Structure 1
Amino acid sequence: MKQYLTLGAAALVLALTLTACGDKNKEGSASKVLVKVNGAVISSDTLEWLLKEQLPPGTPVDEALRSKARDHLIQRETLLQAARKSGLDKDEAVKRRMEYVRDEQLVNAYLKDWMEKNKADDAKLKAEFDKRVAAAGDTEYKARHILVDKEEDAKAIIAKLQKGAKFADLAKASKDTGSAVTGGDLGWARPTTFVPEFAAALATLEKGKFTLEPVKSQFGFHVIQLDDTRKTPGPDFESVKGQLAQGLQQEALQAYIKDLVAKAKVE
């Protein structure tokens, strides 16, 4: 879930600084003293937290790794003391940045907790899977297209095709340079991979036919030819379950945040 730590490594660096700072002078703490740096205590709890935070689950922790983490905390505490001695902790810009990072860590922890408590169950995932499979259909299309900026240019291309010009030859002038070199060929794809206007026009064509009117989309004007169709089995639910769960959770999270902001009193 670390992808939700929106400040990334920089936030974690400052968070670790604050954590190490929190151990200072806790002589009577229940935490075991790992090491003292100029009298400031770094606890063994901090070391364990650092290892858990930074390492993937299940990673074996040997003494060499613990020693490396210990050296890291000693270096950090030494630098922290030097920074305080320099007076930078009183600098307004630095204080504001530290406050921002502190609050950002709380926000990230809250979002992580929310997502843990709001996972989609299998029934909801299966319903969404069936809905998407139905929308995608069981047919793939092998199509070609020529993309131009102006409607009149698209109409001129259609006129040339009606007079016997080869689609692949005319496609060399397409704005879509990726498919232009292959005669406009887009390969096999389901309609849902195309923009709605393109998909709708494609569904009306018979094999070997091209659109008799330009198809307008956000990219320009298309002339489309359908080369072939084929029936294909849909994806297996279990194979996409994880990806689907992640997508639904992200959608739910964004909706939740949007709702919170909408209900907030902003003056």
Structure 2
Amino acid sequence: MFRYSKLAAVALVAIAAAHGAHAAEEQKTDPVVATVGGVEILQSEIDLAVTGLDPQLANLPVEQKRVAALSAVIDTKLLAADAEKEGLQDDAAFKQRIAYLTDRELHNAYFKKHVVDAVTPEEVKARYDVEVAKIEPQDEVRARHILVKTEDEAKAIIAALDAGKDFVDLAKEKSTDPNKSEGGDLGFFAKGRMVPEFDAAAFALEPGSYSKEPVKTQFGFHVIKVEEKRKQQPPALEQVEGQVRQLVMRDKYIALLDKAKAASAVEIDDPELKKAYDAVNAPAGEEQPATEQQQ
């Protein structure tokens, strides 16, 4: 009996020591910021309160946001203490709301663990490759143009080009377009990016050639030169990584929900509500009611 008690005492001392060390460590990383009615307010509570501040305060300096968060936490602690004195924590509606908020936060924590934090760079790259493979490359041209007000001016420019004048030099000298300083360079563009008349003329030209007749559009008269043609390049992974990551996360989330629904039957008593729920949650590709298709 004595031996057992002695071992138990040693264990309790060890636990107490460990707890003390842990508490001291916590105090270093999560210090006490204030005390309200004997209740400590930790830095972690201030950090949480900062995330819950009104969006209008998002651009405040860091210290001002900390003050706003501290004020919010102190106000909350003060009135929460008074609410407990009145027994509001035992109110049925309050308990129902706490149960819902608990479920929501558990959902969010599970989502973070199994979706947000579970996405790997390899998964993002694999999904990027899948999405890129779906893209049918469009034709693109890289063109320059010289824009002038009259047809006669455009014809004079074409004559100058025929005589051997440099297109870039003529663009810088004659064009009224803001990009004249770049020699009229429009970069690469796919069909449909320019007004129809310009589009048709540009895609009809071969690389290195220029339009032999002025091209009239709503902006004036153009002389167009096509520098290069190519198939449209897909965006680099770095440019769309965030969007691709969202796709991976969506698939992970749907898989989690499908697994959970398979394990737990979902029953909806209200027929109209069930019909609307089923329509919204129908798998992709399944036919939906006409009202849903029109939305």
Q: TM-score range by the shorter chain?
A: 0.3 to 0.5
Larger Rg: 2
Higher relative contact order (CA 8 A, sep 6+): 1
What's the TM-score, normalizing by structure 1?
0.45
What's the TM-score, normalizing by structure 2?
0.41
